[in-house]
Structures are given as structure tokens and as C-alpha cells.
Structure 1
Amino acid sequence: MKVTKLGLLALIVLLVGAFFALDLGQYLTLDALQARQAALAAWVDAHFWQASALFFMVYVCSTALSLPGASLLTLLGSAIFGIGWGLLLVSFASTLGASLAFLSARFLLRDWVSARFGHKLAAIDAGMTQDGPFYLLSLRLIPVFPFFLINLLMGLTALPLRTFYWVSQLGMLPGTFVYVLAGSQLAQLTSTGNILSPGLITALCLLGLLPWLARAAQRQLALRRRLARFPRPAHFDYNLLVVGAGAGGLVTSYIAAAVKARVALIEKHKMGGDCLNTGCIPSKALIRSARFALEQRRATELGFAPHIATADFEAVMARVAQVVREVEPHDSVARYEALGVECIQGEARLISPSGAGGGTGQRLS
């Protein structure tokens, strides 16, 4: 695997180095393309399919190696092949080249990045698993993000290749279409910077928001459909219904009552829930007695004569019960009713998004 990675990396470096060493970039300037447009168009007319295949391979290699000049190749595509065929060639070639760059980054760098930044990458991967297509589509639609950088960075995530391919194919289409249209007027262009005007860039950026707006609309529609079978009450009995008078329920009720909300607190057993009656408070009281017994056994380590008191289990449990009784008034019905909370004894269950009911048939909204 290591040898294969080194071989691939050496090939990429060799090809990129050859591009710059041979100064091939001189052929990918606007002046050079305009000067050769007529000759290239004549050659395409004479050798259409060979020219199409050669152009496709050059575009794929350029994109896969993240070389400069993709925008000029797009202009050339429509200038010599026409808008329709040029758009088809450029769209598929750019997506295939981007996918190769994506795979190269994943193969060469994913393991290293994962080993070095695993905890951060895990959070990114979780987000990409949930919303990866939306992120990628937005980035593809907004022209201010360099496409070659998107290819490489996406390769470091867990985004599946098939998702990357179809989203890229769709997302790059608007920008590609703009350049293809401009390429049909290649002879009149004075600068590639004039193609994307501030207004057009703004429009494409707003287009990048469409996936998120569509998703928000879809979620809202799904929510409305789920709620459609629950008719909205004509009036509401309370501002808040709290089920369970445990630690969470008590704090919630207290805060709501403090801001003058009308609150109902429903508890089927004892106020305070597990924390007061069987969990936190009694367990801590019992642990305190156990710690005292342990400290006695370590008396000599601490400089005292050994002495171990006999444990009286009934007395220990009586103390635990006493501790619970001391805290009970703070969690009592009397205190919470004094705060303005209506405390209801019973077992509750949610029967709609805005209401609860119980075994007695009482309904609260």
C-alpha cells in the first residue's frame, strides 16, 4: 500500500512538474486560444470524434491534477464544439476529473489526516453523513470557492464517491453553462474576469442557498403533515405541561413559574422522583456512613489508636431516611403550589403535540 501511494504521488508530481517545466500554460491563455480558434475549429470539423476524445482527456487530466486553466478550456469547448456538445463534454469531463482528484486525496491523505486529527475529523464525518450532499451542492453552486480545493478537501471526508459524483455533476452545471455561453463569443472576449460580473456572482451565491431552502421547506411540509391529524385546541389550559417531578421536572417547573407561566406538574408517585427518594440523596447519605467505617479501619495510618465502632444497620438507614425528610420540603407539593405550579397526582402520557392525558380520562392542553 505504501509503495502504491508513493508511486501515485510520484506520478502526480511528475505530471504537474512537466506541465510547468514545458510551459504548457502558454497555450491556455485567452490570447493563445483566440489566435488558434479558427485553426482548431477547422481541425474539429475534419476530425470531430478524435478531437472530442482528445479534448475530453485533456480536460479530465487538467481537472484531476488541479492544474490552472479549467475555465479557459471550458471557453474553448463551446468555441470549437458549439454550445450543446461543448456543454456535454465539459460537464462530464469536469466531473470525472474532479472525482479522480477526490479519490487521489482520499487515497494519499485520508489515513494520515485521520491519524493526526481523528477526533476533529469524526465530527466532520458525522456532519457529512447527515448533510454532505447539501454542503457539497452549495459549494459547487457558489463560484467564489475554488473547485479544485473542494475536490481535495471532500476527499478527506467520509462522503461516498457516488454522492460526490452526482452532486458535482449537478452543482457545477450552472457555472459551466455560463462559461460555455461566454465561450461561444470567444473572439469578442477581452478578459475572463468579465464573464462573472458581480451581479452574476451574487445570483449564483443565492442559488447556492436553494438546497437548504428546499430542505427547510421539505421539513416544514413533513411537520405539517404529521400534525395534520392533531386538531389544534380552541384554547390552552396551560403554558407548559411537565411530566415527572424528578430533578429535571422540578427545575423546569420552577423556572417556568418564575417567569409567570401557567404550569402543571404531573407525578404518578412521589415528588422529587428517584433523586430524592431512591437515588442521589439516600445513596449519598449511605455512602457517607460507609466512608466513616472505612476511615476507622485506617485509624493507625492517620496516627490514632485503632478503634472500630459497631455498625447499627437500622440506625444507618434511619439516618438515611432523616436526610431524605430534611430535603423533602424543598421538593414538596406545598412549596411548588406556593410558587404557582399546579401539582397533579397521576400517570400522564402525551396524546398530541399540544396535550397530555391519563388513565382517568382527564385531558390537559
Structure 2
Amino acid sequence: MSALFGNYTRRPIQLVKGKGTKVWDENGKTYLDFTSGIAVLSLGHANPILVETIKHQSELLWHTSNLFQNKYQEQLAEKLVKGTHLSHAFFCNSGTEANEAAIKLARKHTGKHKIITFLHSFHGRTFGAMSATGQEKVHSGFGPIVEKFEYLPYNDVEALLSAVDDETAAIMLEVVQGEGGVHVIAPEFAEAIQKVCEDKGILCIVDEVQTGIGRSGTPYAYMQTALKPHIVTLAKGLAGGFPIGAMLGTAELYDSFGPGTHGSTFGGNPLAMSVATAVINEIFDKTFLENVKKKSQYLKEKLVDALPETVEVRGMGFLQGITCENSSVIVDTAEKNGLLVVAAGENVVRLLPPLTVSYDEIDEAVAILQAIIPATTTVS
């Protein structure tokens, strides 16, 4: 019997080595990794730049706590807000922690408590982030959740306008609902959110934990919409596999997050900051992002051409979803054929390759999916 709790449904293989988009299991079998650790390994496995960065920083300084000045945090914060309307950063260790910080900041700054989120959203599993998540299965069994979250249908402008009132502190959303089924925000919905936030003095929180750091083809996915968020949360791909989370905010929020309001023992440690800075130096390069756009569009076009007409391919950048019955069966069959993918929602297979994936690797992955997704698959 395992000494681990059984809170994960684990696949039967154990991965022992990775390089770029490829991984190997303990028996030596090779796979194309189109999960990227669920959108984490933005620059692929064992990226030499990141390996060297960790080696170098580990010989200098690992941890100091936030009692002291930290140039590593300052440098990364400046890179993350450069070219945006955002001005300040808070660092933590995960997307859930970043969303907890966002919820606290929104309530403290506005003095209000109601936060609108959306059905099929996912914001994390701590009590605040879990309560923000619009999925009953995530809440089940834990008793009373944090109050004052209201869940609305995604992309429903009428429902949004009906729900907003004088007690609304913030609207919190994902530009692409990754865990909830790869649902992309409609342009008119983004416009409606932006307008109501401006008109009513409501904060806009965009959860970019899965979509941020180049995965959409721009530094942040909100940049491809009408949204101008007051708060943006990040994690996953920010340090290419090293644990990190971040919350970015506008200048008007600065005074609401003073000493003693929030903190993190490990957040902003020099190792995480150094690795994340190396990641940003690579990904925020214009040529790199242009290649992400081209390659992700190539992936989507190849999928549309190769898969049955009954299948819907939807997403943004290198976050693509394929609607199919029995998605768990497709995930298992793909694994047996040397391709690692992950489910999203009930009937969607999600593709999250490293941003460094090659055209040949895209072709190989599409060929595997073409061979295993049946023509009888229906759109969900």
C-alpha cells in the first residue's frame, strides 16, 4: 500500500527523463509530451538555459525571506509589467496562492465582498480559490465555502449585467477556461465586462495562470481582448517548471496592500526569481512570440484538417481543446501510442505542448490523434 494519500488519479507510467518535448518512462519508452506538466514547462524539459540558471543561482543564494531587500524580485517585477498598464507585483508559489492574494486585495481595496465568477471556471483548491471556482464538484464535501461568490454562465452578457450591483467588488475570469473545457471568451463578452467595470468602478481580475507567459502567443492572453484588468494572476509557465506564482496589479491598488496585509515565506525566493527571469527573457522576445503564434495556428489548422467534421477544435495559442466522447479513453489510447495529452471538463482533450515544440513534433502528434479519434465523436 502506498504511503501517499490517494487524492490524485495517477496514470500507470512513471516518467524518468525529459528533453524538449520528449519524455521517457522507466521502461525506456518515448512519448511526445503535449501536457507540459499542465502548461508549466513553457520552454520544454531540461532546457539548458534554465538548467544553467539554477546551477548558477544555487551556488549564490537560495532563500533570504522577505525581511530583506530583494533585487531578484525587483528585476522580475519590472519585466512582467513592462509594456502593460500594470505597475506592481507580488510573488508567491502557485496559481492558487496568486488567486488568494487577488481575492484579498479586491475585497480590501473596494471594501466590498461580492465577487462574480463563472460556471466551469477553475481558480484553485484552497478555500478562497476553491470558492471562486464555478464547479460544484470542486466544492463537494468541504462544508460551507467562502461566501459572496456568484457564479454566472460564461459568455452570457445579459446574465452579467443583471448580476452586477452596488455590492460587487470584482469580476474574476479566465480568458480561456482551461480546466473547465477550453472555452474561449467571446469578444462581446470581454467588451461588456470592461465597460461595466469602468462604469461601476468594479475591479477586473484576470486569471492567467494557464494562459499567461506566451501560451496564447502574446505575453498575456487578455492582450488579445478588450479587457484591461486591474489584477492579473500568473503561475504555471512563469518559471518553466520551478514553483512560482505572481499577482500583478495597477498603481491604484498599491496602498491597499501595505505591510502586514499579505505574505509568503517562500514567495519570491532568489532561485524562483532567477529562473523566471530567464524564462521571461526568452519568451517575451518578439521573435519567440511570433513563432508561438505561427506554430500554434499551424497546430490548429492541422487538427481541423485531420480530425472528423463532428469534432470541434477550440482554444487560443498552444492551449487547444478537442471535443470528443469518452475523452478519458482518447487520453489513454494516445498515451499507448506515444502521445501525452490531458482531459479538460467532461468531453474535451486538451493539448498543451511546450512553446518550443517543433513543426515535425506537431505533425507527429496530429497523426496519432487522427488515428485514434473516431468519426462518430460528437461535439460537446
* TM-score normalised by structure 1 residue count: 0.24
Higher-strand-fraction structure = 2
TM superposition score normalised by structure 2: 0.23
User: Hey, which of these two has a bigger chunk of helix by percent?
Assistant: 1
Q: Whose RCO is larger (CA < 8 A, sep 6+)?
A: 2
